[in-house]
A and B are shown apart, each in its own frame.
Chain A
Amino acid sequence: MRTFLILFLKELRSFFLSPLAWVVMALFTFLNGWLFASMVNAMRLRVSPRSLVFNMFESGWFWMGFFILFPLITMRLFAEERKMGTIEGLLTAPVRTSEVVLAKYLATVIVYVIIVLPVFLFFPLFQVVTGESAAFHSGALWGSALGLLLVGIFNVAIGTLASSLTANQLIAAMLTFVLVMLHYFMGFLHNFGVVPGSNWTDSLTYFSTTEHMQALSEGLIDSRPIFYYLSFSVILLSLTHHVLESRKWRA
């Protein structure tokens, strides 16, 4: 636990000491601010049966940012250590590989939360600034927050695994990008001419990124997506652990 904490804090620190985290945070907030403003505008022009929260998180534009965000925050985790050789010092210190994986992973999840947090400030801010009454109920907001947290937990795990596979940060980033994107588009197979209704399209749709967001951003909390995201993250992290351990045998 002590070792985990030391590694975790070091990882978190090095994130915020590099300009990357700040640039990503600023741009992500800017993009989403813009998107939020357009959503508000759109709802002013056209009556929507859904809430502002639902429309925001249902929008494809919102998710585009995620394709870039996850590769950017996860690519350096192990790839950089391998490139620089610092992994040798790290893994010859009296630390367990699992502690290293968990520390790096959880630090990145925290970074993700900090980057996404401003989006949730938009909604109360909007109400304060305009003095309008709520166009959504708080359950929707909390549900969306939970949904985004789960999506983050899952996708950061994808990025962590990708980063452990290579010493090249760009390859790790590309791999994460593709996987995150595939996971998202899995839910839109019917848009690509695949006949809906068949068993495997339905299953793929069930696994996709936004499938569970819809229910959550309406404030409906189901335990199945929680279990789904958490269990898959655990699988991805244990794969990362295996990759790092097996490196000892090949190298």
Chain B
Amino acid sequence: MIEVEKLTKRYAGRLAVDAISFEVAKGEIVGFLGPNGAGKSTTLRMLTCFLSASSGTARVAGFDIYDKSIEVRRRVGYMPENVPLYPDMRVSEYLTFRAKLKGIGFRAAKRAVAEAMDVCSLTEVERKMISTLSKGYKQRVGLADALVNKPDLLILDEPTNGLDPNQIRQSRELIRRLGDRHTILISTHILSEVEMTCGRVVIIDRGKIRASDSPQNLIRRLRKPGEVILEMCGDHADARERIEKIEGVEQVTLIHERQDWFTLSISTNPHVDIREDLFELVSERKWKIRELASRAASLEDAFVDLVQHPKEEEKPTAVNGAEDAETEEGENE
């Protein structure tokens, strides 16, 4: 659906986007991640033909963004950052205007708008002026605008920016549902959101692509030691000594102590799960425990790692089954 080839954008001598290449296949939901100023919005603006590339090119829905810009724009539903809308129009009026502008006939526009408002739960505010809407509603108007002509591809630039946690959850649901019908490219810096909705993540930093993989694989590739948390009651020094003897344990640190109870953080070799050994030790010594958990690395860790220690893009590493199980458990926590 999107094929980006060495796309570059230069602003006054500064490289905002530096020869990036990536692809998005039909039906995918791809998260486009990066710190502020990394070039996310610039890239999306080039893909939606709002800006022209300094060099390189991209094809969207099979059309070149430069030569066939109108064809590209016909097939892309774009929601710009901060959702600019005309404040002096009513919701239904604005959406009807946009639907017609995107080439929907007068009669069909009415139906298309009703449908889009239904999908985005806007029907109750259809007569309201956009200027009087709350941020959450405005965001949904922007989304309804993007999908009113049922485009093959949705490009959403920080769609959950400035929403409250409840609204973020709702919009996440909505985006996941939209994924059945549209290919979606979504830029955001809310990582938990990407972890839950996107099948693949493209991480961009300082104009360069740092990684492009599924969130699970990115987490796996992290060379971060595993960590097990144990909260127990008993002899502190003895416990530490015995735990340190388990194979794979690298370090044991006391992170919390309260009366007889204390919490240990046990860092381990990244490819070892010590929880079973630990359990046997605990039951053998008859320690009382309140918590035994493995803390999996999150996408956030992967993101921080990639952005702070930039390295050239790597091929995804082969993964064995044991690790697979671990990350899945970690996610459920």
Q: Do A and B bind each other?
A: yes
Chain A interface (Cβ < 8 Å from any Cβ of B): 3, 6-7, 10, 14, 17-18, 84-89, 91-96, 248-251
What 0/1 readout, one digit per residue, does chain B (85-99) give for beta carbons within 8 Å of chain A?
111110000000110
Instruction: Give the CA-CA distance A92 to B71 in the complex, in Å.
Output: 11
Give the distance to chain A from B264, nearest Cβ to Cβ, in Å.
52
Assess whether B51 is in contact with A89, with CB atoms less than 8 Å apart. Answer: no
Q: In the complex, how many angstroms separate the beta carbon of A14 from the nearest chain B beta carbon?
A: 6
Measured CA separation A6–B11 after assembly (Å): 34
Q: A14-B88, A85-B84, A86-B84 given as contacts; is B48 within 8 A of A92 (CB)?
A: yes
B residues in contact with A95, CB < 8 Å? 73, 101
- What 10 pairs across the A-B complex have the smallest Cβ distances? A85-B84, A94-B73, A94-B74, A248-B52, A88-B80, A86-B84, A92-B48, A93-B101, A92-B78, A6-B100
Q: Does B103 contact A (CB under 8 A)?
A: yes
Does B178 belong to the interface (CB within 8 Å)? no
A-B contact pairs, 22 of them (CB 8 A): A3-B101, A17-B88, A84-B84, A84-B87, A85-B82, A85-B84, A88-B80, A88-B84, A89-B78, A89-B80, A91-B50, A92-B48, A92-B49, A92-B76, A93-B73, A93-B101, A94-B70, A94-B101, A96-B70, A248-B51, A248-B52, A251-B51
Residues of A within 8 A of B45 (CB): 88, 251
Whether B18 sits at the interface, judged by CB under 8 Å, is no
B102 at the A/B interface (Cβ < 8 Å)? yes
Interface residues of B in 46-94 (CB under 8 A from A): 48-52, 70-71, 73-74, 76, 78, 80, 82, 84-89
Once the chains are docked, how many angstroms separate the CA of A94 from the CA of B49?
10
> Cα distance A174–B101 when bound, in Å?
32
**Is the beta-carbon distance between B70 and A92 smaller than 8 angstroms?**
no
Beyond known contacts A3-B101, A88-B84, A93-B101: 14 more, CB 8 A cutoff: A6-B100, A6-B101, A10-B97, A14-B89, A17-B88, A89-B145, A91-B50, A92-B78, A92-B80, A94-B74, A94-B103, A95-B73, A249-B51, A249-B52
Tell me the complex Cα distance, A86–B80, Å.
9
Chain A residue numbers with a CB within 8 Å of B98 are 89, 93
Whether B11 and A93, one on each chain, are in contact in the complex, defined by CB atoms closer than 8 angstroms, is no
Contact residue range for chain B?
Answer: 20 to 34
Report the separation of the CA atoms of residues A88 and B84 in the bound assembly, to the nearest whole angstrom: 8
Cα–Cα distance between A89 and B51 once the two chains are bound (Å): 12
Give Cα A251 to B145, complex, Å.
24
Known: A85-B80, A92-B80. A18 touches B88 (CB 8 A): yes
Are B84 and A93 neighbours in the complex by a CB distance under 8 Å?
no
Q: Are A248 and B82 neighbours in the complex by a CB distance under 8 Å?
A: no
Which residue of the partner chain, among A14, A86, A92, contacts B50 with CB atoms under 8 Å? Answer: A92
Using Cβ atoms and an 8 Å threshold, which residues of chain B touch A91?
Answer: 49-50
Tell me, in angstroms, the Cα distance from A86 to B94 when the chains sit together: 12
Q: Are A7 and B101 in contact (CB under 8 A)?
A: yes
Q: Hey, which chain A residues are within 8 Å of B52, CB to CB? A: 248-249
* Contact, CB under 8 Å: B145 / A92: no
Closest to B77 in A: A92
Say whether B85 contacts A86, CB under 8 Å.
yes
Rounded to whole angstroms, the CA-CA distance of A133 and B184 in the bound complex is 73
What residue of chain B has the Cβ atom nearest to residue A85's Cβ? Answer: B84
Could you tell me the distance in whole angstroms from the C-beta of B51 to the nearest C-beta in chain A?
Answer: 5
Kindly state the separation between the CA atoms of A126 and B15 in the bound complex, as whole angstroms: 67
Asked if A93 and B102 make an inter-chain contact with CB atoms under 8 angstroms apart, the answer reads yes
> How many whole Å from B262's CB to the nearest CB in chain A?
54
Residues of B near A250 (CB, < 8 A) are 11
A236 to B86, CA, bound (A): 27
Q: Is the CB of A14 within 8 A of B78?
A: no
- Contact check, A88 vs B97: say whether CB atoms are below 8 A apart: no
Most-contacted residue by chain B among A93, A249, A251 (CB, 10 A): A93
| Residues of chain B contacted by A18 (CB below 8 angstroms) | 88
